[in-house]
């Protein structure tokens, strides 16, 4: 179920994920709708990328406990989360 994505698409919009970032092609979305999407970015990210919360947590730990810059923390957290995802996928499809 993707209620935010469904509403964006119903108005001719599109969300494009590039690693841990998203871009919005607004289509016929009003300025108010675009502002609402910005305010609800985390919920949208969870729809677009189910691993978003894990990514955010890993990036925060790397930045605050590990002393990495935010950019490095995000890059490394993304690699870590995606490696875990690929390992899980491989295990599920190995049998």
pLDDT value at residue 19: 95
Q: How far is CA 3 from CA 6, 13, 62, 92, in A?
A: 5, 13, 32, 28
Q: What is the distance between the alpha carbons of residues 93 and 73, in angstroms, rounded to a whole number? A: 30
pLDDT of 68 higher than 90: yes
Angle between helices 41-48 and 52-60 (to 10 degrees): 120
pLDDT value at residue 1: 77
* pTM given for the model: 0.83
pLDDT value at residue 95: 65
Quick: pLDDT tens for 49-65: 999 999 999 999 999 99
Quick: pLDDT tens for 17-56: 999 999 999 999 999 999 999 999 999 999 999 999 999 9
């Amino acid at each position: 179920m993707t209620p935010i994505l469904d509403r964006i698409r119903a108005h001719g919009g599109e969300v494009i994920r590039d690693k841990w970032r998203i871009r919005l092609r607004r289509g016929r979305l009003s300025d108010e709708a675009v502002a609402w999407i910005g305010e609800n970015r985390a919920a949208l990210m969870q729809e677009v990328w189910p691993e978003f919360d894990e990514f955010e947590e890993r990036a925060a730990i790397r930045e605050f406990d590990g002393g990495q810059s935010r950019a490095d923390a995000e890059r490394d957290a993304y690699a870590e989360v995606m490696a875990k995802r690929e390992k899980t996928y491989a295990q599920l499809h190995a049998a």
